[in-house]
Amino acid sequence: MKTSNLEILGIDLPQSENEEFYDDGFVESIRDYKIRLLRDYHSYQPEEELNRDVFGTHGMFWVGSKIIRHIAYLDQKDNARNINTRAHEETHVLAESGYLDLLTNKILRDVGISLDLSLMFRFGQKELVSEIRGIYPLKRLGINPRSIEKFRDETFRVALEIYEEAIQKTQA
Interface residues toward Zn ion, by CB under 5 A: 127, 130
* Shorter beta-carbon distance to Zn ion: residue 4 or 91: 91
Nearest distance in Å: CB 130, Zn ion:
5
- The Cβ-side half-sphere exposure at 66, using a 13 Å CA radius, reads 8
* Shorter beta-carbon distance to Zn ion: residue 92 or 115: 92
Nearest distance in Å: CB 51, Zn ion:
14
Residue type, 62: W
* Shorter beta-carbon distance to Zn ion: residue 116 or 127: 127
Nearest distance in Å: CB 59, Zn ion:
11
Q: Which residues touch 4 (CB under 8 Å, ≥6 apart)? A: 12, 13, 15, 20, 21
Nearest distance in Å: CB 27, Zn ion:
16
* Shorter beta-carbon distance to Zn ion: residue 16 or 118: 118
For 59-92, b/e burial (b = at least 16 CB within 10 A) is: bbbeeeeebbbbbbbbebeeebbbbbbbbbbbbb
Residue nearest to Zn ion (CB): 130
Distances (CA, A) of 94 to 5, 47, 79, 118: 11, 26, 22, 12
